[in-house]
Structure 1
Amino acid sequence: MPQLNLPEELRRNVLLSMYRTADELDWEFLGNPGKTVQYGRWIDDPSIGGELIAFASEKDIRVWFKDVPMKEYSRAQEGIGKFVPYVRRRFRGAGEIVQSLCGNGWSIVPGSVEGKPNHCVATNGDKRRYVCWGRSGRLNDLIWASINEAIDSSSRPGIVVTTRDGETLTQHERDRHLRIANHCGVDLTHLHRTMIENPDLLKP
């Protein structure tokens, strides 16, 4: 992976600009052809590719786009990782996830929020539970992570399958998810989330 040694101000401005455009394009719903087109537009943009070309080749810049900022984009929208301050909108965070699965009286164990898949440890002050979440396309990863956790834990892990505005699941899909989770010995619920303005957004 190319490492671009960029001046801090340039790096900040490039990331803010890229993430603003990604938000306008609804990047997570954009197909690969559309993403490829946008990578080209960023390369051709004088304020992005035109500035970065002084630090790397066009090929390395394109790879950097894919493997650094845009690889971290969805995690940043979840409030995870060091790229969070650059996204204009984000989800409310793991607290919303924990509440939907565990109910009132449960909160996040500080420092337990991580990715691959997105997960945390929840507590009610007495018990602890592993909770992971993601979109339905990641269910295989979520099930596998939960099963591995269940083997080493005395508490039943949980999965939250999330949807966002513009995305729905059929009742058949929901029922199927619940049957799979029950068969594997983990809890599962569904949560539809709406994004909010990012309170941690950096100013250009």
Structure 2
Amino acid sequence: MALQQLPAPIRERLLIEIYQQANDMDWEFLSLTEKTNQYRRWIEDPKVGGVLLAYGPEKDARVWIKDVPMKEYARAQEGIGNYARYAVKRFQGPEEIVRAACGSGWAMKPDSVGEKPNHCYAIAGDSTRYICWGRAGNFRDLVWAALNEGIDSTERPAIVITTRNGETVSSAEHTRQERLALRCGADLRYLHREMVPNPDYLRATGGSDGPSQPSLID
């Protein structure tokens, strides 16, 4: 039996609780084993699994946690998507990426942010540049995206490798990434980012944003 539709207030409380815990434990730095163990702890947590199990079996509760809030967690930290308001902290946004990639004089094109990989367009006068960004582990996807974009653009695309506290890129990896970017006709930049308090988070906890979208697991 699939997990029943969650009432909007219940769903919102679950999202707030899970994202708060994920923030407290630095979810993105956990190993696969640690993440697997945390999914089990969430099922055992009265504030998470104790609520979900009232609407369906354990296996579907686990799938909901993995495929609904946590599948969107990285995007939420980028300020992208419907779940961004539940992230306790997030990065400063694509404007920071544009400054790192292009310098002053360029601005993010409105409504140009996309994903897979994260990307946007920067504009300066009549010029438009494609910029994609992500962690070093996603470099293959970033290169492929920049290569495809560069074929149809008169401006060089840009790749931004992002790091945060606790992450580094080795000199050997750095050198190879630069060579690959050069071969693909893309500029390569590195940006160390800090998480900042999410300016939208209080509206989520205050419940003033209206009803959340319902969620179903088939």
TM-score higher than 0.5: yes
Is the partner of 1:116 in helix, strand or coil?
Answer: coil
Whether 2:140 is the aligned partner of 1:131: answer no
Q: Which has the higher contact order (CA 8 A, sep 6+)?
A: 2
Specify the alignment match of 1:182 in structure 2: 182
Specify the alignment match of 1:50 in structure 2: 50
- In 2, distance between residues paired with 1:86 and 1:167? 24
Give the C-alpha shift of residue 175 in structure 1.
Answer: 2.0
One-letter amino acid of the counterpart of residue 74, structure 1: A
Specify the alignment match of 1:113 in structure 2: 113
Give the C-alpha shift of residue 3 in structure 1.
Answer: 6.6
Farther off after superposition, 165-174 or 26-35: 165-174
Whether 2:163 is the aligned partner of 1:163: answer yes
- In 1, distance between residues paired with 2:70 and 2:32? 13
Farther off after superposition, 102-111 or 164-173: 164-173
- In 2, distance between residues paired with 1:3 and 1:200? 29
- In 1, distance between residues paired with 2:41 and 2:9? 21
- In 2, distance between residues paired with 1:172 and 1:66? 35
Give the C-alpha shift of residue 120 in structure 1.
Answer: 0.4
Specify the alignment match of 2:65 in structure 1: 65
- In 2, distance between residues paired with 1:101 and 1:87? 25
Specify the alignment match of 1:79 in structure 2: 79
Specify the alignment match of 2:91 in structure 1: 91
- In 2, distance between residues paired with 1:101 and 1:172? 22
Give the C-alpha shift of residue 4 in structure 1.
Answer: 5.2
Q: Which runs of 5+ in 1 are unaligned?
A: none
- In 1, distance between residues paired with 2:184 and 2:51? 51
Give the C-alpha shift of residue 22 in structure 1.
Answer: 0.8
Q: Which runs of 5+ in 2 are unaligned?
A: 207-218
- In 2, distance between residues paired with 1:53 and 1:159? 43
Q: Alignment identity in percent?
A: 53
Specify the alignment match of 1:203 in structure 2: 205
Conservation of the 8 A alpha-carbon contact between 2:72 and 2:83: yes
Aligned length: 203
Farther off after superposition, 47-56 or 93-102: 47-56
- In 1, distance between residues paired with 2:149 and 2:4? 37
Specify the alignment match of 1:194 in structure 2: 194
Q: CA RMSD in A?
A: 1.3
Specify the alignment match of 1:14 in structure 2: 14
